[in-house]
Amino acid sequence: MEQPNLHQQLQQASQQIKEAAQAIRQAQGSDMQLLEQAEQQLQRAEQELQSAQNTAGTEATQNPQFQQAYEQLHDTRQQVQEAQQNNNDVL
């Protein structure tokens, strides 16, 4: 029974990461509010991944979809930080 729930949680996390990445691209060089929204989406994605891990344990962390989402989360968070720094340099 846990598998569909885990799959759904991982799908939600991946979608939030994708939306955050899109917001980062739109915000490049100008919009700090969009970057803040992206950061909030990443926090929700991270919470979703943590919830999946708490619920399914090693089944979640060994799942390739979980691993991919976690890597995307990390990479996208770096993009947010870089974009925020670039925007600060512009201002």
pLDDT in tens, 23-53: 888 877 677 888 888 899 999 999 999 999 9
What is d(CA 90, CA 85) in angstroms, rounded to the nearest whole number? 9
pLDDT for 80 equals: 87
pLDDT for 35 equals: 85
Q: What share of the chain is helix, strand, coil (3-state, %, to 5)?
A: 90, 0, 10
Q: How confident is the model at residue 1 (pLDDT cuts 50, 70, 90)?
A: very low
33, 82 contact by CB (below 8 A): no
Give per-residue burial for 51-71: e unless 16+ CB within 10 Å, then b.
bbbeebeeebeebebbeebbe
What is d(CA 31, CA 26) in angstroms, rounded to the nearest whole number? 8
Q: What average pLDDT does this structure show over 61-81?
A: 93
Full-prediction pTM beyond 0.85?
A: no
What percentage of the chain reaches a pLDDT higher than 90?
55
